[in-house]
Structure 1
Amino acid sequence: MPTALTAAQTRFLRGQAHDLRAMLQVGGKGVTEALLAELDLALEHHELVKVKVAAADREERDALVARLADGTGAALVQRIGHVAVLYRPSTDHRQIVLPRA
């Protein structure tokens, strides 16, 4: 189940993600189980992750980003061009404290 975010939380996370670099890249093979497992580990450790999606057209990029978010239970914070920002709170050690409203 994807994490639901309010508009204020989304704005806050976009600001936090501004200086991040893309940790993972979706290549020609698309979204594989190994990629989902690696993204799951990255989200558990960092909570906020940038992913670069190498797809030719917008619809394909949107579909790949949706599969990443659904496969890991993460919320899509933003997508600009080929880069998507995903957020999921850590179960063991939360680092990012979201605003309430």
Structure 2
Amino acid sequence: MNPIEKKKLKAQAHPLNPVVMIGQSGLTPAVLKEINLALDAHELIKVKIRAERDERSEIRDQICSETHAELIQSIGQVVVLFRKNPKK
């Protein structure tokens, strides 16, 4: 994805609220399933990760690799993810 496309997606994501929140339990299979469902439905989502800084980056990378989503933006505890839905 080129920088121009990422910039457009960042602008689209700005007014969105986090769809999934990851808490004390961390990244569980149920949370991954919920993220996959949200990506299928919306393509562009925000995820809030309530963890320490080092742990947040690990969780973020794990989400991207397991859901095949592309990281658009990461600011503090909020991560913006995009995955094109071929059915749309």
TM-score by length of 1: 0.84
Q: Which of 53, 71, 74 is equivalent to 2:69?
A: 74
Please state which structure has a larger fraction of its residues in helix.
2
Q: What's the Cα RMSD here? A: 0.7
Amino acid at match of 2:33: A
1:33 aligns with 2:29: yes
- Cα shift at 1:6: 1.1
Amino acid at match of 1:72: T
Q: Which of 58, 61, 65 is equivalent to 1:63?
A: 58
Supply the distance in 1 between the matched residues of 2:45 and 2:11 (Cα, whole angstroms). Answer: 13
Supply the distance in 2 between the matched residues of 1:18 and 1:71 (Cα, whole angstroms). Answer: 24
TM-score by length of 2: 0.96
Q: State the partner residue of 1:18.
A: 14
Amino acid at match of 2:14: H
Q: Name the SS for the 2:25 alignment partner.
A: coil
How many residue pairs get matched? 88
Tell which has more relative contact order, 1 or 2 (C-alpha 8 A, sep 6+): 1
